[in-house]
Chain A
Amino acid sequence: MDDKEDITRRGFIKGAVAGAASLAATNCSGGGGLGSLEAFFQSHFKEMDKEELQRTLKRLEREYSEKYGKDFVVKADKPIEGTLFGYGLDISRCIGCRRCVYACVEENNQSRDPQIHWITVLRFKKGEKWLELEEADKYYEAEKVPEDGYFYVPVSCQQCEKAPCTKVCPVQATWKEPDGIIVIDYNWCIGCRYCMAACPYGARHFNLTDPGVPAEETNPNTHYLGNRPRPRGVVEKCTFCIQRTRNGRYPACAEVCPAGARKFGNLLDPNSEIRYLIEKKRVFRLKEDLNTLPKFFYFISL
């Protein structure tokens, strides 16, 4: 990747050359939070005081409501104390129907056109001796699923405890929250895409253009670090539905799964379903040898 050309707005601030002239030249956002002078000088999310945060949220709500013609809520709910989120996926019961993919798109305001999916369902042949993830078919088409002789492995952000993606970010626009969710501040991301290169799971996605989401399909209940509409030029990914899970709800993908193959809960709670499955079932994580320590556990129950 070419640094010089990829560094945009934030690079200028960092270089302390944020004069009005360069501002005009680099104000490349098509709405979605970076259009105003205020947005440009906004602090890093973690450094904002209460007042600035409230101002920022209100400003974003105004911008989104105007842009999409309905009332948006942008929250910044803090982590619930004593939680570390974990996810379980039962590959012996996943039927590969892709309901999760589209529920995620709708919940999280992903771009329909150009298409961005945070979840990719991979299909594997049963019983082969050796398999590599890149040989899996993510474009399978079938009249009905599950197909005999295949199994399915949906992949999204693995929420690694030792996340390689956050380390490479030159501007700390992505980090791990205390409840274990890896988040991105879209107002801080400079779009260099180092994190995408660093992610071994292909879980990060780039908004090359303005995300295309029909106004009537937008989900107006959003979180600053989650599903709020993104501007063009930033990276995005699964946040365990931070806007839902920090309010006790299940992620949209888990709620929609017709097979009940998706499990979610608090790893610190010994009575949670996620702990039950880790203790009682055969569990593995993707690319364990990379030592990224994902909090996304695949398991087999049948």
Chain B
Amino acid sequence: MIAFRFAYLSFAFLLVFTSALPCGYSAAESSIVDEIAEEQLPASDDNLTPSKDHPGLFVNGQGELVDDLGTIIRLSENKNICIKCHYGKHEKIVVAWDKSKHSRKKVLCIKCHGGNSEGSTLKEAKDETKTNFKHIKESMLKATGDVVKELAFDYCGQCHGDKYRDWEAGIHGKRTGFWNGEKEYWVCIRCHDPHNPKFKKRVPKPRPLKPDEIVFKKPQNVVVKNIKSGK
């Protein structure tokens, strides 16, 4: 009935390009989680205030997080430090991240959390006005206007410049609203889980019925004769 008549299609063109589509990604290199899983955290016995959020770490007089020797924890020197603890606390996140391309390409927690300046401290990392775990999601999903672009750039665009440019033009990702007016950008994390960014597969909607599955109820009071197979 609704058979396609695509006899003369020249589709070679299409093929040339689609062979460049993303395909499966091959096996993991060494896992950071594996590397550090065995390590223990240092015990504390100094007279620094134990950190409320970060048991095992301490807060010094200036409010900086320090280790048991009073050394300020600098992200640049402790690239895997977040994973060490957050593996237990946020196992799902760390495991997801560990399996993702981000982990394989050494996109560490601190690349997104705690700013990206190599000298920043844990205190700065947790600065709510900058990058706080809890607040990122909310501020990203609620942001409007240029803030959305800043966030998308800061978190993802700095490394994915090509995607960011396309996204800004409305090509990658998605904009809703009005084609001739106000548009709302979808931030990257609305489609990509930052800890496992590969676009999630989903269940497709039902296939269309085949011609022989479509039942036409007998038309009433109508003279439709000679209905052929419906070309």
A residues lining the B interface (CB < 8 Å): 1-2, 5-6, 8, 26, 28, 30, 80, 83, 88, 90-93, 95-99, 101-102, 113-115, 117, 120, 124, 126-134, 136, 138-146, 148-149, 151, 153, 155, 193, 196-197, 200-202, 205-206, 208-210, 212, 232-233, 245, 248-250, 255, 257-260, 263-266, 269, 272-273, 276-277, 280-282, 284, 286-290, 298, 300-302
Complex Cα distance A209/B21, Å?
Answer: 42
CB nearest to A149 among chain B residues: B23
Do A265 and B179 form a contact, CB below 8 Å, given A146-B201, A282-B17, A290-B8? yes
Contact A140 B207 (CB under 8 A): yes
CB nearest to B227 among chain A residues: A208
Chain A residue contacts of B172, Cβ below 8 A: 93, 260, 301
CB nearest to B175 among chain A residues: A273
Contact B204 A97 (CB under 8 A): yes
Would you call the interface of chain A mostly helix, strand, loop, or mixed? loop
Would you call the interface of chain B mostly helix, strand, loop, or mixed? loop
Contact partner, A197, options B171, B186, B231, Cβ 8 Å: B231
Point out which of B9, B216, B227 has the most chain A C-beta atoms below 10 A from its C-beta: B9
Contact B214 A232 (CB under 8 A): no
B residues lining the A interface (CB < 8 Å): 2-15, 17-24, 166, 169-181, 186, 191, 199, 201-210, 214-217, 219-228, 230-231
Do A145 and B202 form a contact, CB below 8 Å, given A30-B220, A202-B3, A301-B172? yes
Complex Cα distance A250/B230, Å?
Answer: 32
Contact B8 A289 (CB under 8 A): yes
What's the minimum C-beta distance from B171 to chain A, rounded to whole angstroms?
5
Q: A8-B223, A30-B220 are in contact. List 13 more A-B contacts (CB 8 A).
A: A5-B225, A28-B224, A97-B205, A120-B4, A132-B9, A133-B4, A141-B204, A200-B8, A202-B4, A208-B224, A257-B174, A258-B202, A288-B13
Contact B208 A260 (CB under 8 A): no
Do A250 and B9 form a contact, CB below 8 Å, given A233-B222, A301-B171? no
What's the minimum C-beta distance from B26 to chain A, rounded to whole angstroms?
13
What's the minimum C-beta distance from A26 to chain B, rounded to whole angstroms?
8
Contact partner, A232, options B8, B9, B179, B219, Cβ 8 Å: B219
Contact partner, B22, options A200, A281, A302, Cβ 8 Å: A302
Chain A residue contacts of B177, Cβ below 8 A: 250
Contact B2 A202 (CB under 8 A): yes
CB nearest to B4 among chain A residues: A202
